[in-house]
Amino acid sequence: LLQRNHGAFTIGTSVGQAWLRMYSLVRACEVQLMALANDGAVDMVPAPSTDPETVAKRNAKATRVGALGWNALLR
């Protein structure tokens, strides 16, 4: 969630997943700013799939990656 005057909030099923989502959001914003610095010549990226099976797989992977990434960061 991006708020105008209060920054960004993320949620997840675990702290690791919430952290990974925030990291991904910040990185996506950085990449967008770098792309727009190129005179606004940006190729559009297709929207992610809304197929329920694909969404379920993507969420399961995000949960698994979030847990692994958080454990690595704690070490």
Contact present, 62 and 17 (Cβ < 8 Å): yes
Q: What is the pLDDT of residues 36-67, one digit of tens each?
A: 887 766 666 667 778 888 888 877 777 776 66
**Percent of the chain residues past pLDDT 70, beyond the cut:** 83
Distance separating alpha carbons of residues 13 and 20, to the nearest angstrom? 11
pLDDT at 66: 66
pLDDT at 12: 82
Q: What is the pLDDT of residues 23-33, one digit of tens each?
A: 888 888 888 88
Token pair listed for 53: 């099976």
Which residues are within 8 A (CB) of 55 and not within 5 positions of it... i.e. 6 or more apart?
Answer: 49
